[in-house]
Amino acid sequence: MTLPNLQDYHRPATAEEAIALVQQHGEGAMLVAGGTFVHGLEVRGLLDNVTALIDIGRLGLGGISREGDTIVLGATTTLAAVAAAEFVGREPAFGALRDALTYPPPQIRNAGTIGGSVAAAAPLYDIPAALLALGAVVRTTGPKGRRELPLDGFFRGLFESALAPGELITGVAIPPPPARTAGAFLKLETNANDLAIVSVASQLTLDGAGRIAAVRIVLGGGVGETYVRATGAEAALAGQQADDKAFAAAAKAVSGDFEPVTDHRGSAAYRRHIAGVYLRRTLTTARERLG
Amino acid sequence: MKKKLITLEVNGENHELAVEPDESLLQVLRNRLDLVGPKKGCDSGGCGCCSVHVDGRVVYSCMMYAAGAEGRAITTIEGIGSAATGLHRLQQAFIDAGAVQCGYCSCGMMMAAKQLLDTVKQPNEDQIRLAIAGNLCRCTGYTKIVDAIRLAAARA
Ligand SMILES: Cc1cc2nc3c(=O)[nH]c(=O)nc-3n(C[C@H](O)[C@H](O)[C@H](O)COP(=O)(O)OP(=O)(O)OC[C@H]3O[C@@H](n4cnc5c(N)ncnc54)[C@H](O)[C@@H]3O)c2cc1C
């Protein structure tokens, strides 16, 4: 068929077995969770050197749990299962995640997993942008033991992450958001299955006087090789009253935060403009969600 | 490449199959089980005409490895109704609303719509359009497909 060097499709029962298989096959090993990204690589002929597909669906890494106030999304939890979680649907602090999960079509939500969406390291994906805004931490296990890798700094380039060879994501931990925090996410795309032109995830924390006590803004889509933290826009907002004037200043500042690409979907100038507009809209929505 | 022996549960029946380890669920359904309702369109998860249900939820069968589908319940359009066993209300509504032109997208559309109707009894237009956002139709302009899904819901 299409993987000329494939020897077998494995369905290990434990993480240790999966890691051992990865070590055995080295460069030829390919982990498969939902397979929705893997398939895209396969049809583009990018997996010709793969000797082993290693399905991680039976490792027991699915499901959502709580450790105190920290929420842990198991690596093989589907996007649909996260979208159905009560706290995602209800709490303003998870607004960006909730919004992001509405974009993939049902077929992708039902198959795609949290771990796969993060490991793919494609800034075009929406869910990791929301997780970045939430300050999430990737949990892994591998030949050298367990690690916790903050998503800030996890993405190293297009399709490149901080994962070491043979390292497996076991889950993504979301630290408890501070009180009076709300998020929102927006993406511009041409249709449900095209790549993002620009996406913006905003996370806003207000103090008792309505000032911005903390803010995290993440840009995705055709904004570069990885997600971008919009530090200029964040600085423009920090400590300000959360009003339209501050939001407009941030919308202006954000255009200096990234070097967008130009392609048939949109020019760099267009992407800069849209980032400003969408930033303003996500901030406004986040503020509304705080009531 | 060594073939893999798997048991697939499709439309309530178990099939023992020897498949290539990289064979997609779509290929196995069409080429080994003669279930040609699911279509090969883009073969890269974007057009939706290969849509089937796995454990009651709609997925693109072109993107799932058959070997990974072992142990799960697969349902194709053939499993929800046929001329011989009686049409599903979605199939009847697609006929009655004229929601079919070339027909290539129809089976996938109905499988996507089925997940919606399984969970929402009387969906509104937004819910219907979102439910089929992962399915392309090049003929109908979608309006009659949306009408058909609404009609099927009304007949529940
Ligand atoms: C048609 C289409 C539309 C889409 N639309 C959207 C959209 O609108 N918004 C959006 O955000 N995303 C979208 N996506 C992307 C989708 O979210 C990802 O493809 C999906 O989340 C990947 O998860 P998976 O389980 O299928 O990953 P897989 O394809 O199984 O794996 C992805 C990569 O991660 C590796 N991997 C998987 N799990 C682990 C793990 N636990 N540890 C280490 N490595 C791992 C794999 O080896 C592979 O390299 C779309 C994809 C398609 C095909």
Do A41 and A80 have their domain in common?
no
pLDDT (0 to 100) of residue B25:
98
Give the helix, strand, coil percentages of chain A, each rounded to 5.
35, 25, 35
Reply yes or no on whether the pLDDT at A89 is more than 90.
yes
C-alpha radius of gyration, chain B, whole number: 15
Determine the atom of ligand 1 nearest the C-alpha atom of A37.
29
Do A232 and A152 have their domain in common?
no
Determine the atom of ligand 1 nearest the C-alpha atom of A189.
8
Q: Mark which of B30, B49, B80 sits at the end of a domain.
A: B80
Do A77 and A96 have their domain in common?
yes
pLDDT band at A103 (very low <50, low <70, confident <90, very high): very high
Compute the half-sphere exposure of residue B97: CA atoms within 13 Å on the CB side of its CA: 23
Please write the tens of the pLDDT for every residue from B85-103. Answer: 999 999 999 999 999 999 9
Question: Chain A, 46-105: which have a CB under 8 Å from a chain B CB?
Answer: 53, 55, 57, 80, 102, 105
Determine the atom of ligand 1 nearest the C-alpha atom of B134.
1
Q: How far is the CA of B31 from the centre of ligand 1 (A)?
A: 27
Interface test with B, best of A107, A109, A190 (most B CBs within 10 A): A107
Q: How far is the CA of A49 from the centre of ligand 1 (A)?
A: 20
Q: What is the mean pLDDT of residues A197-218?
A: 97
Q: How far apart are CA A249 and CA B105, in angstroms?
A: 47
pLDDT (0 to 100) of residue B37:
97
Nearest CA to ligand 1 atom 49: A120
In the numeric block, the tokens 């196995």 are attached to B28
- Answer yes or no: are the C-beta atoms of B38 and B26 closer than 8 Å: yes
pLDDT (0 to 100) of residue A50:
97
Reply yes or no on whether the pLDDT at A96 is more than 80.
yes
Do B20 and B45 have their domain in common?
yes
pLDDT (0 to 100) of residue A140:
98
What interface predicted TM-score (ipTM) does this complex get? 0.97
pLDDT (0 to 100) of residue A1:
54
Question: Does residue A239 belong to any structural domain of this protein?
Answer: yes
Please write the tens of the pLDDT for every residue from A25-69. Answer: 999 999 999 999 999 999 999 999 999 999 999 999 999 999 999
- Answer yes or no: are the C-beta atoms of B131 and B113 closer than 8 Å: yes
pLDDT band at A2 (very low <50, low <70, confident <90, very high): confident
Q: Which two tokens stand for residue A116?
A: 């796969």
pTM of the predicted structure, to 2 decimals: 0.97
Alpha carbon A209 to chain centroid, angstroms: 32
> β-strand A198-206 against A212-221: which pairing, if any?
antiparallel
For position A237, which CATH number holds? 3.30.390.50
- Answer yes or no: are the C-beta atoms of A21 and A143 closer than 8 Å: no
> β-strand A8-10 against A52-55: which pairing, if any?
parallel
Do B57 and B9 have their domain in common?
yes
Pocket of ligand 1 contains residue A138 by CB under 6 Å: no
Do A116 and A218 have their domain in common?
no
Ligand 1 pocket test, candidate residues A19, A23, A27, A36, most atoms within 8 A of CB: A36
Q: Give DSSP secondary structure letters for A121-189.
A: --TT-HHHHHHHHTT-EEEEEETTEEEEEESTTTEEETTEESPPTT-EEEEEEEPPPPSSEEEEEEEE-
For position A157, which CATH number holds? 3.30.465.10
Do B11 and B56 have their domain in common?
yes
> β-strand A155-157 against A145-150: which pairing, if any?
unpaired
Do B103 and B141 have their domain in common?
yes
pLDDT band at B2 (very low <50, low <70, confident <90, very high): confident
DSSP state of A256: G
Higher pLDDT among residues A118 and A224, named by residue: A118
For position A16, which CATH number holds? 3.30.43.10
The residue range of the domain holding A34 is: 8-55
Q: What is the mean pLDDT of residues A272-279?
A: 97
Q: Which residues pair with A139 in a beta bridge?
A: A148, A171
pLDDT (0 to 100) of residue A97:
98
For position B13, which CATH number holds? 3.10.20.30
Count of structural domains within chain A? 3
Count of structural domains within chain B? 2
The residue range of the domain holding B48 is: 4-80
Phi, psi of A231 (to 5 degrees): -70, -30
Cβ <8 Å between A111 and B59: yes
Q: What is the mean pLDDT of residues B40-66?
A: 96
Reply yes or no on whether the pLDDT at A191 is more than 80.
no
Q: Which two tokens stand for residue A13?
A: 């029962």
Partners of residue B46 in chain A, C-beta under 8 Å: 193
Do B68 and B130 have their domain in common?
no
- Answer yes or no: are the C-beta atoms of A3 and A42 closer than 8 Å: yes
Reply yes or no on whether the pLDDT at A192 is more than 90.
no
Alpha carbon B100 to chain centroid, angstroms: 15
Q: What is the mean pLDDT of residues A14-32?
A: 96
Do A221 and A273 have their domain in common?
yes
Ligand 1 pocket test, candidate residues A31, A37, A77, A186, most atoms within 8 A of CB: A37
Phi, psi of B61 (to 5 degrees): -75, -15
- Answer yes or no: are the C-beta atoms of A286 and A95 closer than 8 Å: yes
Do B131 and B150 have their domain in common?
yes
**Residue A192 contacts B where some CB pair is shorter than 8 Å:** yes
Question: Does residue A3 belong to any structural domain of this protein?
Answer: no
Cβ <8 Å between A7 and B21: yes
Do B52 and B101 have their domain in common?
no
For position B107, which CATH number holds? 1.10.150.120
Please write the tens of the pLDDT for every residue from A60-82. Answer: 999 999 999 999 999 999 999 99
pLDDT (0 to 100) of residue A205:
98
Determine the 3-state secondary structure of A12 from DSSP: coil
- Answer yes or no: are the C-beta atoms of A124 and A225 closer than 8 Å: no
